[in-house]
Structure 1
């Protein structure tokens, strides 16, 4: 196999053909379950390399699946899902959305959708949850004020991708950090200053687009600050540098206490909310383990070395490696239409490239997460645009002209790579 290392990449090709191919043929990019496509790819990998016995291959994939970063990532996924489930059940999402809407002046309603989306997604750690919470409100704003429904949807999607890329409990952040072996707080700080200019410019663009509208949005938006506190505790605790497991557990306990104290649910019902939240991340947890198995086989057969050598031939230095990582994750996301899966797939390869060229892990993690979000937030067949379009009864293509934030993120990363001083990795 190592003499013909191109065949080692066959499992990746099988996944792309199955997942993307079925989507193109059927018009439904979720017609082929990602888990089934990855499992098929793993079986293909197991059939390769006759020099290894079946038991030897099982040992290889078991070692890959049992890697400390993979196990840690899965456990964090489950805790993040638990926190998201219980804090939502306690009313935290509704209160956070209503709090933002209650303080936004009428002339800034579209801008407000973006800013609120940033806050909600940063707190919830999920772009899909943010879109589900804000899209109906965006529809109401469009119907009552005359703002373009597509512009309102674009503001929601842009805000959702902001937090999806930055949140401490986002599955993409967890995947990027764990595959690169860096600290969440370091990745957050690095990432935040990269995307901040893009977010500021997006605010101005949405304001310019909605300038002249002064209709006041009617309706009462009640909120409870106490229900929002768990979000702040998790965010601040993670930024300070507390252990992520401890931070999430505290958030879960605090959210449960708030819900029980306010009579939103009973203690037993809080357990059900926690379980429901965990269930939402079961699939990505299993996918992460299967992808780790595939990557272990590909690496054993020389495929990872082939990718690194190919990049070394075509790119020079750290900046070249960083551009290679950005292109790699962007293309993988276009094929998978899932930024978390894209990071889980490309993360180990990106780490090998980073190690080879001496790129800091936090830089690699930031580039991975940002460019995965850029791709995911732009493709019209991605879940984010499809959901927003469905909830506002418009086409995903109509939303695309208002997706300011994602291209600006890409520009910010390119400038970051070109002009930020390079540090030698230790």
Structure 2
């Protein structure tokens, strides 16, 4: 029998409403959804949260905010973001991105050019942990493929975007994976396995569809791509280490040193260059780290004022089953992502609520983490005002709406996510409590 839930206070959710009004409203008015910096919008929302509830002193509310901002999981997430940024920067500076892209293209079967490009994008995005980096690396190559084969540019760039979202959703060093696992309290490798089983059919069907679509084009790209296999090894080491359950701090720390050593011995940079690359990577994560801290504080105040209790009461009053709760989590993170156009922010914002819902309905943390990541990533890959499609459209010189019709993988990922919830897939074996991340 489920525990009784306080009805809470819907007015406590006003800070989130303020944020959405500022962020979405400015986007609608200006036509640019990135005109209002998301961090500024959340800081204004935080200020409103501190003003709300006059029954409590400002000092008390500041203490609550700081408690949420300095929560163990929030700070741990920040440190992981810092290490992930440093690793990505060092690996890129020593030539890892170029070698990974060129190695992938060198083994690409000419008769499976389009589906092969999708698979390469999947591999690169899983290795690098960034959809934006994948699109930036493969976008110009996709243009060349379209030019030499006669395929529509939007079709080819759509295959790249699809592959980029595959890794954005699954990579061990993706900020969405880190956020999903930390907010739900599960291991990276466990979330990866659960998530992978759900989206694998979508990837396979996408590859087949792209092969069929490309069959009417006879052009073949024959080029020689140079690469150094040793520069791909840091990505493989991190991926394999994560799957083996290596501690994330040990994993990323050793990955940074490994990539740095390769860079120094290959003369890609010297020791000072290595240090600068680490610094650049850390600085690049500055905004997302600050954002996570502010969001943690805002969510804690909302919880203190009864907002979390209201959402739980509202959702549980509408749903009567574990399946309904899973759909509730999916709807929650989907709506936040559509409003913010940022899947990491969507997960960080919806994550604490999702964890409470999951606990109330006995949903496995691996499943709730997968739901958060899948439903935020699939929408992020399809919204025409999102960074991924805007970047792809800018590289390709086409409208985001033209690419939208060729985004097979994000659409199929959404379908697979719905099927997984509807039929209770995958069937998960129970794991010991001490294996869950607190």
Give the TM-score, by structure 1 length. 0.98
How far apart, CA to CA, are the structure 2 residues paired with 1:327 and 1:4?
A: 20
Task: Say if 2:45 is the partner of 1:45.
Answer: no
Which of these residues, 97, 100, 103, is aligned with residue 96 of structure 1? 100
1:240 aligns with one of 240, 244, 261? 244
**Cα distance change on mapping 1:164 and 1:288 into 2, 3 Å:** same
Aligned length: 425
| TM-align CA RMSD | 1.3
Unaligned 5+ residue runs, structure 2? Answer: 1-5, 434-438
Tell me the CA shift for residue 218 of structure 1: 3.6
Say whether residues 1:77 and 2:68 are aligned partners.
no
Tell me the equivalent position of 2:229.
225
The farther-off stretch of 142-151 and 363-372 is 142-151
Secondary structure of the equivalent of 1:402?
A: coil
Q: Is the 8 A contact 2:8 2:307 kept in 1?
A: no
Name the counterpart of 1:204. 208
For 1:156-235, list aligned pairs within 5 A: 156-235=160-239
- Correspondence for 2:132 among 117, 128, 134: 128
For the residue of structure 1 that corresponds to 2:317, the secondary structure is helix
Write out per-residue CA displacement over residues 258-313 of structure 1, whole angstroms, 9 at most, x where no aligned residue: 11100011111011111111111110110000000000000000000000010011
Counterpart in the other structure of 2:309: 305
- 1: CA distance, partners of 2:345 / 2:7: 29
**1:236-315 superposed matches below 5 A:** 236-315=240-319
| Residue aligning to 1:105 | 109
Whole-angstrom distance in 1 between the partners of 2:37 and 2:234: 34
CA distance in 1, matches of 2:215, 2:111: 7
- Match of residue 342, structure 1, among 331, 343, 346: 346
Distance (whole Å) between structure 1 residues aligned to residue 166 and residue 44 of structure 2: 33
Looking at structure 2, the residues matched to 275 and 290 of structure 1 have their Cα atoms a distance apart, in angstroms, of 23
Q: C-alpha distance in 1, partners of 2:85/2:149?
A: 36
Question: Any stretches of 5+ residues in structure 1 without a counterpart?
Answer: none
Give the C-alpha shift of residue 424 in structure 1. 7.6
Question: What pairs up with 1:407-418 in 2 under 5 angstroms?
Answer: 407-418=411-422
Contact kept in structure 1, 2:323 and 2:422, CA below 8 Å: yes
In the alignment, the residues of structure 1 paired with residue 288 and residue 235 of structure 2 have an alpha-carbon distance, to the nearest angstrom, of 23
Distance 2:146 2:422 in 1: 40
TM-score (norm 2): 0.95
Correspondence 1:404 to 2:408 = yes
Is 1:319 aligned with 2:323?
A: yes
